[in-house]
Amino acid sequence: MENNIQGLHHITVLASDPQRNYDFYTKVMGLRFVKKTVNFDAPDVYHFYFGDEVGTPGTILTFFPFPNARTGRRGVGEATTVGFAIPKGSMDFWIERLSRHGIDFGGPDKKFEDDLITFSDPDGMQIELVEGDVEHLIGWETNDLPRQHAIRKFSGTTVRLKNSEKTEDLIKDILGFTFYGESTHLKRYISGEGDHGAIFDIITDPDGPYALQSAGSVHHIAWRTENIASQREWMRHLRSHGFHTTEVIDRNYFHSIYFREPGGVLFEIATDEPGFMVDEDRESLGQALKLPEQYESRRSEIENRLMPIRQVNRMVTA
């Protein structure tokens, strides 16, 4: 391939209670509720998208909330941590904010040169807030979270593997990640550059139990590519190296291919195009339930099956 993968597109996680999930990520994390739709493969389950003001690739955390789902078991063969980048000088603000919401956290700590705090969401997914040079990015401002401290994008993600050798071969030699450094049981790679850059940390745990996915588990990691043409090149490139990918799948807001990396983590390559404003304008993002065309004839049935959620439009106007 002439080009390398340019950072993260989105990360998708399993959750339990939809209302609790919505409240935590909008009211505590201060993310924008960018899209309310359904799991295209199981339309009786919501698919929530949270991100910055316009749903920029590299900011989107998505959830499949299954009401009453048990908490998953953390282990090897999965992504264990989602990292968000906050502007430098924002750590004290977030420490006070988390404390006010009664959320236990660890830190501040350092990982390599990064200052960070760690905590868990209501389903047990581990989150890192990492200070970085991201002040110029869009973010999302609410009435109680000024833009100067708002989350700007993903800083990266961490996976836990029994053995990392073949995974490292994939990300270095095929996807074009750059090796950054290592410490005990941890290796860091970078995908993309500048604003598109994302950390990919690998923890090696040869004796660790395999993960059991349920609420709080990362379902897959999606890497970004520009358009369908470049995506098809990636599909051919991966298949030429022995990876079994899906065909291109239309997800309305992007196109996707999926494959499993050697350590067991599900990877996706998703297109930047067409984005989240194909069916809603900037001001109304996330307000209405949006269904793909194949489910519109079943709208009443689907709405009756989904748990209603109470939403607040938290957009700050000038």
For each of the domains in the chain, give its residue range(s) and CATH number, in order of start. 8-305 (3.10.180.10)
8 A C-beta contact, residue 11 and residue 62? yes
8 A C-beta contact, residue 201 and residue 187? yes
Structure pTM?
A: 0.96
Q: Which helix (H) or strand (E) holds 257?
A: strand 255-260
Q: What is the pLDDT of residue 317?
A: 38
Q: Which residues lie below 8 Å from residue 156, measured CB to CB, with a gap of 6+?
A: 8, 83, 198, 199, 200, 201
Is 184 exposed, middle or buried (CB count within 10 Å of its CB: 0-12, 13-18, 19+)? Answer: exposed
The Cα–Cα gap between 193 and 205 comes to 28
Would you call 68 helix, strand, or coil by DSSP? coil
- In the chain, the N- to C-terminal Cα span, in Å, equals 45
Given the structure tokens 């996915």, which residue do they identify? 213
Ramachandran assignment for 216, one of left (phi > 0), alpha (psi -120 to 50 degrees), beta (any other): left
Q: What is the pLDDT of residue 185?
A: 84
Amino acid at 4: N
Q: By C-alpha distance, which of 63, 40, 54 is closest to 290?
A: 40
Q: What is the pLDDT of residue 265?
A: 98
Q: Which helix (H) or strand (E) holds 222?
A: strand 218-225
Q: Which helix (H) or strand (E) holds 239?
A: helix 228-240
The Cα–Cα gap between 275 and 8 comes to 15
pLDDT in tens, 245-294: 999 999 999 999 999 999 999 999 999 999 999 999 999 999 999 999 99
The Cα–Cα gap between 165 and 187 comes to 11
**DSSP 8-state class, residue 37:** E
The Cα–Cα gap between 25 and 18 comes to 11
Mean pLDDT (the chain) is: 95
* Positions in the chain whose pLDDT score sits under 50: 316-318
Q: What is the pLDDT of residue 3?
A: 75
CB hemisphere CA count around 174 (13 angstroms): 20
The Cα–Cα gap between 185 and 55 comes to 34
Q: What is the pLDDT of residue 86?
A: 98
Q: Which helix (H) or strand (E) holds 132?
A: strand 126-132
pLDDT in tens, 207-238: 999 999 999 999 999 999 999 999 999 999 99
Q: How many helices (H) and strands (E) does the chain have?
A: 5, 16
